[in-house]
Structure 1
Amino acid sequence: MKEIRNRDDVFVLVSTFYRAIRKDELLGPVFNGHILEEQWPGHLEKLTDFWVTALFGVASFKGNPVQAHRNVDKNLNHTMSQLHFGKWLQLWFSTIDSLYEGKLAQRAKDAARKMATSQYLAVWRHRP
């Protein structure tokens, strides 16, 4: 096991994680239904930017995750639930644990836990 040290490590984490997401029975249809095959390379780069910003404090991410999650929830007829976010967290933690250890691996788990909670609450509060 090694520690997360740079953007390349973060890209490996993000890419491995989203390969698992796309195959998951619950989350795969959500992600595959909203991101076209040809959009995945760019999406993985954007998500890598997000995690580089979160883990290293390097301002490389540009986007609005709250609005993105609200849009997905709307497209799913407001059926996103805590189960979706819990499964996302479970897969994120298991992916981290399969690849990395150390301070930044723990920071990635802590940040994901906070993000999942805040994203779910943001979606829930803005439902009709």
Structure 2
Amino acid sequence: MHATTPPASDAQYCTEDEVIALVHRFYARVRQDPDLGPVFDRHVADWPAHLAHLVDFWSALLRGTRRFSGAPMPRHMALPGLTAALFERWLELFAQTTTELGNPVMKAEADARARMIAQRFWQQYQVSGHDAAM
């Protein structure tokens, strides 16, 4: 199976409503987190627009929709002070959220993709010359 496109025989891991719930619940949790909240609050000026963009992103990954456009890597590489611990915390909160949604197929796929994204971003962040200290 290709990492960014659902298999043809299983075009969806979840419904659009589940994607919306995932994104909104997860980022509500992130915003309340004492470590992640301040990072996001410093860099997200328009939460409704950001959430809509994230719904498009996760819908593309989990449902194969084609609404997402953008290049998230450069924006994330420009953020100062990210640590491996922040990426781990992001993954913990993500897994908590996918568990609560009660769709085990979506949970498995979304969690695997989130781990891949976090690993890729963290590796690229280090390669781009940011301090790797935790």
Aligned to 1:45: 52
Instruction: Give yes or no for the alignment of 1:12 onto 2:18.
Output: no
Instruction: Give yes or no for the alignment of 1:98 onto 2:105.
Output: no
| Count of matched residue positions in the alignment of Structure 1 and Structure 2 | 118
Cα distance in 2 for partners of 1:48, 1:13 equals: 8
Selected match of 1:121 from 113, 120, 123? 123
Cα distance in 1 for partners of 2:53, 2:59 equals: 10
Selected match of 2:114 from 84, 105, 112? 112
Aligned to 2:76: 69
Q: Deviations over 1:48-67 (max 9, x none)?
A: 11101111122221111111
User: Does structure 1 retain, via aligned residues, the 8 Å contact 2:14–2:63?
Assistant: no
For 1:52-63, what aligned pairs fall within 5 Å after superposition? 52-63=59-70
User: Does structure 1 retain, via aligned residues, the 8 Å contact 2:22–2:97?
Assistant: yes
RMSD over aligned Cα, in angstroms? 1.3
- The structure richer in helix per residue is 1
Q: Deviations over 1:78-115 (max 9, x none)?
A: x2111010000000000111122221221000000011
Normalising by structure 1, we get a TM-score of 0.87
Which structure has more RCO (C-alpha within 8 Å, separation ≥ 6)?
A: 1
Residue identity (%): 32
Normalising by structure 2, we get a TM-score of 0.83
